[in-house]
Every structure is written in structure tokens, then in C-alpha cells.
Amino acid sequence: MPRAYQRTRDENFNVEGLVGTQLSGRTFGIVGLGKIGRVVAGIANGFGCKVIAFDPHTDARAAPCPLVLLDELLSGSHVVSLHAPLTPETRHLINAQRLAKMQPDAILVNTSRGPLVDAAALIEALKRDALGGVALDVYERESGVFYSDRSEQGLTDDVLARLLTFPKVIVTSHMGVLTWEALGEIARTTLASLTEFEQGKNLSQELPLPEREMATC
């Protein structure tokens, strides 16, 4: 889509090289079946995808789709969408070994936490043309770069700069939450939590400590 948009802006309406693939009938793999992962599962179902997921914290009986091991998900999915928390165990969950298990035309999407993906290993996979595409709303070293204007200074992060050179890669600056509705809800929830804390009440939005960290296999 970015390439098609840029072409038409340049008054070039040639569609050569812009042929894509449809989602219907494809296998959509979701890593992490929290609230967001479950919503994504519903959206993927709506597109006619076969949805599978990996989440060691979810009971298979309560899951909205079949649960599989991570390596099985990577090797069998046309789209892999990450929705896992960042823990010591999930840091670089998608590394060189796991990228090698993905299909050569698979699309990797990360809208959760940047360090889930080893960016250096991702670059090596892209250089080998081993992925069909990558969409990143997060990046493992985004602090100090995202939400700032670097157009005059240029990038000092060579890894991010290299990622941006690949035509199969789309990077956005951690803006998945950037809607008026979401920002308003964040403000309301934050103010409500501060009020509860100030009044000595139980915090309704408090997150319980996990019984165990998310496993990687």
C-alpha cells in the first residue's frame, strides 16, 4: 500500500509489482491470547482465515481457536501476529532460529512489544528474502526515536535505518493506540485509578502478578 500510494502521488498508475494475496483461506497465527489477541482472532476469522494461537496461559477449552506449540504456529502460518507481554522469557521470542521456521512468504506483524523480535536477526532474514513482509508498530530500541522528529538529524540507529530500507517492511512509531477514543479511555482509567488510590480503595485496574512467566515453547 505505501508503494501504491507513492506511485499515484507521482502520477504513476502502473500496478506492476503490486500484486498481493488475499487473507481468506490463509492460516493466521496469533502469539498471545489476551484481550487484544482475542479481538485480533475475531477479525482474522471475519476475513475467512483459519486461526491458530500460542499461549501457554490459556486453557484450550476457553480459547477461541485451536492452541498449538509456537514452532508449529510459525511453520504453519501465513501471517504471524504478536500480542505477548514482554518478560525475560519472551525477549527475542522471534529470533534467528524461529524466523527460519517461518514460511518464505509469511508476514510478521508486531504491535505488542519491540523486544519480542530480534531486529538484527530479522534484517538477516529479510536480506535472504526469507519473509513475505514485515509490519512493525514497535521496535526494540524505539526509546528516544519514536515520538520525535529525526528528519533533520537523521537516524543514528543503524539497525532501524537498515530496516527502513526494505520495501517489504512497514514501520510505524508505536501508534496503534493513537485514536481519540483510546486516548480518552486511557485518561478516564488513569484518573479513576488515581482517585481510588487517593481514597484508599482497592484498585479496580490492578494487574495481578502472573503465577509464572510466559513460556517460549
- Active site (catalytic) residues: 113, 142
Query: Residues near 197 by Cβ (< 8 Å), separated by ≥ 6?
Result: 203
Q: How far is CA 154 from the centre of its chain?
A: 25
Beta sheet of 169-171, edge-to-edge order: 50-54, 27-31, 79-82, 107-110, 133-136, 169-171
What is the tally of helices (H) and strands (E) in the chain?
7, 6
d(CA 64, CA 54): 12
CB 68 within 8 A of CB 52: yes
SS3 per residue for 76-113? HCCEEEECCCCCCCCCCCECHHHHHHCCCCCEEEECCC
CA count, 13 A, side-chain hemisphere, 212? 7
Residue 80, Cβ neighbours under 10 Å: how many? 26
